[in-house]
Amino acid sequence: MQKYQHFEPLKVFLEICAIPHASFKTEKLKEWIIQEARKANATIQCDKVGNVLCSKGKPKLCLQGHYDMVYVGDSAAFEVKPKFVKSGNQAILCAENSSLGADNGAALASMIVALRKSRNIECLFTIDEEVGMLGAREIALSLQSPYMLNCDSEEIDEVVVSCAGGYDLECKAELETFEIPQDCDFLEIRTQGFRGGHSGIEIHKNISNAILELAKIAKSLVECGALVVKFCGGEKRNSIPTNALLQVAIPRDKSKLYQESLEKISTIKLEDSACFEVVKVSLQNARYFNPNALLQALLGVQNGVIVSSQNAPILSSNVGILQQTDEAGKIQVSFVAMGRSNQESLMQENIKKETKKLEALGFCVDLIDVYAPWEREESALLNTVWEIVSKQNPRAELKSIHAGLECGILKQKYPSMRFVSVGPSISHPHSLNEQLDLESFVRFDEILQSVLERFQAF
Ligand SMILES: [Zn+2]
């Protein structure tokens, strides 16, 4: 790792690792950024939400990164202990028992170094990107540069030129409950081995959706006379669900059905080796509800890739959360279908279509957290970045990603600005296995230097 000993951005990144900056707890890193910007003689502007803009001279280019990280770790308090490892001839930085925060800390380090060296530059540090891009959504800063280079991509050989917009359709219905007849057996069916995944980046991989696969089972049980007591599942609205649970009551006079169901369900194996576990349970004071509208909605709402172009998804949807709350003889069922699209018109069309369909089934549909896609646009910045990156690696690619980047939101706030996104190679971000490829970090820094030079930063 000697090779990297004198690489300035790495030194700065190791400094950042020691400062707490989990999302919503970024105060310490904010203070550090301001202090570093002062030392670099930059002018500093902060807005109410906590975005920080540092500028010098007459900038033509703004570098942008987020200063919060997804902290996953064994220790409850923030503790990131970076560790160098070698894998083949690849030099990697990871962390002992926590996420590393190279997303977006590595880029922040390069931005701080660039701020020190440049005469004309803007560096925008946004807050709480990882928890719904809150900083970008509420930004209230005046930028001077006509171009912005977002530094939050995760693959050095890709220049990102477009990202998806998104929305959540929150669907709710209130249902009546009924007393369960005497002489029923109760079954609980749980999902097992569903692997889940990112609802945008991995939506094209045909990963089984735990909620929807269990909804198919619920439907076949209901058709045979089972009574649905509880149905819920999912972890996050923006991930493909790995867990779901269904509780049903089966009248004893249908005990043949009971046996058959047990056998049938336990032999179901989905393509990706996900399966179901059936257990007999006893439920006190349970009530049942008519699940037909819910099942029709879940099985009728679009899920997975809806439209693709050149083998990449450009419109998709993911049913991520299904909840049930019981109150005074009524239950409320709700689920969230999160849609993404790289084309604004496709997205708007789909919102209308899906809302109409769900409302017709008696659901109250709320459209929330809408943000526009960032569509590809030609610009002097794109030409320059592409020239530099493709010279560094002739196999590099221009890429549209089917996930959100702050560019989408910032483009709405600064419509005349032109954007491009790059970043060092980071694998498994947001997890204990997060890894930063050090060679790509050096290459990323070289790209920044060259772009800054072309935009008269020095
Ligand atoms: Zn990030």
How does pLDDT run along the chain (458 residues), one tens digit per residue?
Answer: 678 989 999 999 999 999 999 999 999 999 999 999 999 999 999 999 999 999 999 999 999 999 999 999 888 899 999 999 998 889 999 999 999 999 999 999 999 999 999 999 999 999 999 998 999 999 999 999 999 999 999 999 999 999 999 999 999 999 999 999 988 999 999 999 998 888 888 899 989 999 999 999 999 899 888 999 999 999 988 889 999 999 999 998 887 877 887 788 878 878 777 889 999 999 888 899 999 999 999 999 999 999 999 888 999 999 999 999 988 778 999 999 999 999 999 999 999 999 999 999 999 999 998 988 999 999 999 999 999 999 999 999 999 999 989 999 999 999 999 999 999 999 988 888 999 999 999 999 999 999 999 998 88
Q: How far apart are CA 425 and CA 458, in angstroms?
A: 26
C-alpha of residue 2 to centroid of ligand 1, in Å: 28
What is the CA(131)–ligand 1 centre distance, in A? 10
Q: Which residues have CB atoms below 5 A from the ion given as ligand 1? A: 103-104, 152
Quote the ligand 1 centre to 350 CA distance (angstroms).
27
Q: Which of 157, 161, 3, 172 is nearest to 92 (CA)?
A: 3
Bond into 104 cis (ω within 30): yes
Question: 222 C-alpha vs ligand 1 centroid, how far in Å?
Answer: 44
**How far, in Å, is the centroid of ligand 1 from the Cα of 139?**
17
Structure tokens at 412: 């709405």
Give the distance (Å) from ligand 1 centre to CA of residue 106.
10
- CA of 103 relative to ligand 1 center, distance in Å: 5
| 216-227 per-position pLDDT tens digit | 999 989 988 899
Cα 48 to ligand 1 centroid, rounded to whole Å: 21
Neighbours of 134 (CB within 10 A): 21
- Distance from C-alpha of 295 to C-alpha of 318, rounded to nearest angstrom: 16
Distance 412 CA to ligand 1 centre (A): 19
Cα 284 to middle of ligand 1, angstroms: 46
Residue 449 CA to ligand 1 center (angstroms) comes to: 21
Residues 6+ apart with CB under 8 A from 240: 196, 197, 198, 199, 202, 203, 207, 209, 318, 320
Give residues with Cβ within 8 angstroms of 54, minimum separation 6. 33, 37, 40, 42, 43, 44, 45, 115, 122, 123, 125
For residue 130, report the distance from its CA to the centre of ligand 1, in Å.
7
Cα 214 to middle of ligand 1, angstroms: 33
CA dihedral 389, 62, 134, 34 (to 10 degrees): 120
Instruction: Choose among 166, 149, 243: nearest CA to 201.
Output: 166
DSSP 127: S
Ligand 1 centroid to Cα of residue 355, in Å, is: 31
Identify the pLDDT of residue 258.
Answer: 74
Q: How far is the CA of 452 from the centre of ligand 1 (A)?
A: 22
Other Cβ atoms within 10 Å of 77 Cβ, number: 8
Ligand 1: distance of its center to the CA of 235 in Å? Answer: 20
**Could you tell me the distance, in angstroms and rounded to a whole number, from the CA of residue 66 to the centre of ligand 1?**
7
